[in-house]
Chain A
Amino acid sequence: MEKFQTLRSGVVPLPIENVDTDQIIPARFLKSTTREGFGQNLFADWRYQPDGQPKADFVLNNPRYQGQILLAGKNFGCGSSREHAAWALYDAGFKVVISSYFADIFRGNALNTGLLPLQVSDEVLQGLFRQIELEPETQLVVDLPSQTLSIPVWDAAIGFELDAYKKECLINGYDDIDYLVSQRDAITTYEQLRKWVF
């Protein structure tokens, strides 16, 4: 997993609520046996016509909006547990998704992919949508060590929450596997204690 420290970037707005992982990456593109290459099919049915031509009205096809931050309506990533959704966003160049809340499994998958799910209040989210609509070139700064989202054009900085362990993982590029494998003795002891159950 790549390290994440600080990001200054433009924003791609997707003001739709309950964006499910079937929209992020439709099931018919899940046939690969590797993690790479899902970005080209990110939001495939919203992004392309059936003949493969880009749909002009979809935000990823609009050159006004550029950046590594996706700004999305509440309950982003609901539905299927496919981690391919997080891989597709990351592969397409996104490093942060901002929403007012995320579906549980997606949030975990994003963190395990190195994609930061950044939760803000509904009010801030709506404010950001208005700001980006007004000035599409607006830049935001995400600073993970200080857990702040800065909006230079407002001269404002907002704190965001993140589990301390997950924060360390992102900053250092670690994942959970090394930690879990290091717990092998504790796990074996546990197994011996409750053998009677199964």
Chain B
Amino acid sequence: MAKSLFDKIWDAHVVKAIPGGLEVFYIDRHLIHEVTSPQAFDELQERGLPLSRPKQILATADHNVPTRNQHLPIQDPLSRSQVDKLTENCAKFGVELFGLGHQYQGIVHVIGPELGVTQPGMTIVCGDSHTSTHGAFGAIAFGIGTSQVTQVMASQCLLISRPKRMRITVDGELRPGVTAKDIILYIIAQLGTGGATGYFVEYAGSAIRSLSMEGRMTVCNMSIEMGARGGLIAPDATTFNYLKGRPYAPQGERWEQAVAYWQTLYSEEGAEFESELTFDAAAIAPMITYGTNPGMGIALNSSIPVLGTDGEAASFNKSLAYMGFKPGESLLGKEINYVFIGSCTNSRIEDLRAVAAYVKGKHKAQHVEAIIVPGSKLVEKQAIEEGLDQVLAEAGFELREPGCSACLAMNDDKIPAGAYCVSTSNRNFEGRQGPGARTLLASPLVAAITAVEGRIVDITQYVN
């Protein structure tokens, strides 16, 4: 029977099927960070269990780290103790750690791919819902809770049931100014914030294949925002070219063997999907969100909808009240106070280049605070090598040091209550960027233009 990409990888990782539907599912790579791992290490020790496969774990400090003065001790005692605990646990259990100060430190979903740790055909988990990012390489990657982090630590396996399969095909050519971020914000707006719950999504079609690896990562990253367990894209020449020569990618003869295997990873003609959706790339416009979940997105030049159905009206109204917007109104012309470019969705070199290319020779609006937080030390290094830091500085943008930063505001990078922030991150939930902060999700290009204009504009007139 014709097999889907998802089934090929999933089936290859079933250690044992248990009557009733659960499976013992093998995990190739386990990524950990300081926020969701300490309780798991403690649990392991309380039960007197060894760490099953330390070599298959990679650790970094990202969620809680400052983005200024990373060479100094962390000021916040709670953040410091969490990061210290990670360092201590990694040393004790023999786990490789790219902590603060390390040349490879960065956001866990940025460093895995850029180091070549993430590879096609793998299963990858992390105590973080945006683990779906790694699916861009044709891997089954998904976020797990801390109890599951303990399970993987103890056994290198999870006890889970197989999700349903969905294929989302985006065919055609993108319009100028429309990026990977717009594609995924558009898809989420069509499906809603819970529209893919229970599914694992394969993204396909010419518009997806034409994306760079950075773009594919942006798409897969936000799969969770429509409830999907994860998202993945069949690996191809773009994937192999990206991986070749990366520090943790296979080398020499092993590289040839790996590519031969990776080339078998695609959905065969006639493969089954419980749900299939197709979108026309040309119908997608630059997007922005107006509400408090990522499904509440619209084309920049359209208007906020007028109420949902009765059952949804209360939540919809609560959301708009929080944002200070009215049903039916346009966002064009709204003044913006902050622009945040960063997060595991959009903090890669391509994102920084897109911003720098637009702001070169321009300057941010006076009243806007614009910060750029690179996804990793390697991204930061490359940006400096390419002179992007100069371009950004001259445009009034502040280039910080790597971390999750204002995406979830665990560190000092918070948006004040009531302020509006156009953000390249992935969540516009109430208070996500700080208590009372109002987040509008958009692409790096939209964010850059907004920073310069100081208000929301229809970007189609700014791009050729």
Instruction: Give every chain A residue within 8 A of B24 (Cβ-Cβ).
Output: 180, 183, 186-187
Q: From known contacts A78-B227, A187-B157, infer whether A50 and B127 are also in contact, taking CB-CB under 8 Å.
A: no
Does A155 count as interface, using CB distance less than 8 angstroms?
no
Among B35, B43, B81, B257, chain A packs the most CB atoms within 10 A around the CB of B35
CB pair A31 B315 closer than 8 Å: no
Chain A 178-198, CB-CB to B under 8 Å as 1, else 0, gives: 011101101100110010111
- Is the beta-carbon distance between B35 and A30 smaller than 8 angstroms? yes
Give Cα A108 to B197, complex, Å. Answer: 13
A137 to chain B, nearest CB (A): 23
User: What is the CA–CA distance of A83 and B151 in the complex, to the nearest angstrom?
Assistant: 14
Say yes or no: is A101 at the interface (Cβ < 8 Å to chain B).
yes
**B247 within 8 Å of A (CB atoms):** no
Residue in B16, B22, B147, B198 whose beta carbon sits within 8 Å of that of A104 in the complex: B198
**Of the residues B154, B194, B314, B318, contact of A78 by C-beta under 8 Å:** B194
Interface assignment of A9: CB less than 8 Å from any CB of chain B: no
Given contacts A22-B430, A80-B129, A176-B159, contact A190 B145 (CB under 8 A): no
Q: Does B168 contact A (CB under 8 A)?
A: no
How many chain B residues touch A (CB < 8 A): the figure is 77
Residues of chain B within 8 A of A79, CB atoms compared: 129, 224-225, 427, 429
Q: Which residues of A contact B93 (CB under 8 A)?
A: none
Is there contact, CB below 8 Å, between A197 and B121? yes
Beta-carbon contact of A20 and B157 below 8 Å: no
Kindly state the separation between the CA atoms of A154 and B143 in the bound complex, as whole angstroms: 40
Whether a CB of chain B sits under 8 angstroms from the CB of A146 is: no
User: Do A75 and B42 have beta carbons less than 8 Å apart?
Assistant: no
- Give 1 or 0 for each of A1-41: 1 = CB within 8 Å of chain B CB: 00000000000000111101011001110111111000000
- For A176, the chain B residues whose CB sits under 8 A away are 147-148, 151, 158-159
Query: Is B315's CB under 8 angstroms from A78's CB?
Result: no
Query: Pick the contact of A103 from B127, B227, B312, B318 — CB < 8 Å?
Result: B227
Asked whether B430 lies within 8 Å of A45 as measured between CB atoms, the reply is yes
Q: Which one of B129, B427, B429 lies within 8 Å of A81 (CB-CB)?
A: B129
Complex Cα distance, B193 from A101, in Å, reads 12
Out of B22, B42, B224, name the residue touching A163 (CB < 8 Å). Answer: B22
| Residues of chain A within 8 A of B314, CB atoms compared | 15-16
Q: Using Cβ atoms and an 8 Å threshold, which residues of chain A touch B76?
A: 31
B155 contacts the other chain (CB 8 A): yes
Cβ-closest chain A residue relative to B128: A81
CB distance from A6 to the nearest CB of B (A): 23
Residues of A within 8 A of B423 (CB): none
Nearest-neighbour CB distance to chain B for A80, whole angstroms, equals 5
Chain B proximity mask over A59-84: 1 for CB below 8 Å, otherwise 0: 00000000000000111001111111
Please report the C-alpha to C-alpha distance between residue A45 and residue B429 in the assembled complex, in whole angstroms.
12
> Contact between A163 and B161 (Cβ–Cβ < 8 Å)?
yes
Contact A122 to B311, CB < 8 A, known contacts A105-B129, A197-B121, A198-B122: yes
A112 engages B81 (CB within 8 Å): no
Closest to A179 in B: B159
Mark interface residues in B426-458 (1 if CB within 8 Å of A CB, else 0): 010111100110000000000000000000000
Q: Are A181 and B49 in contact (CB under 8 A)?
A: yes
Give the docked Cα–Cα distance between A105 and B143 (Å): 8
A187-B36 Cα distance, complex, nearest whole Å: 25
Q: A22 to B129: give the CA distance in the assembly, Å.
A: 12
B419 contacts partner chain A, Cβ-Cβ < 8 Å: no
Q: List 14 A-B contacts (CB under 8 A).
A: A23-B429, A27-B410, A28-B410, A31-B64, A35-B39, A50-B436, A74-B194, A83-B127, A103-B194, A105-B143, A113-B147, A126-B311, A183-B155, A187-B155
Q: Interface residues, chain A, CB within 8 Å of chain B?
A: 15-18, 20, 22-23, 26-28, 30-35, 45, 50, 73-75, 78-84, 86, 101, 103-105, 108-109, 112-113, 122, 126, 163-165, 175-177, 179-181, 183-184, 186-187, 190-191, 194, 196-198
Query: Which 4 A-B residue pairings sit nearest by Cβ, starting from the closest?
Result: A83-B145, A112-B147, A75-B194, A109-B145
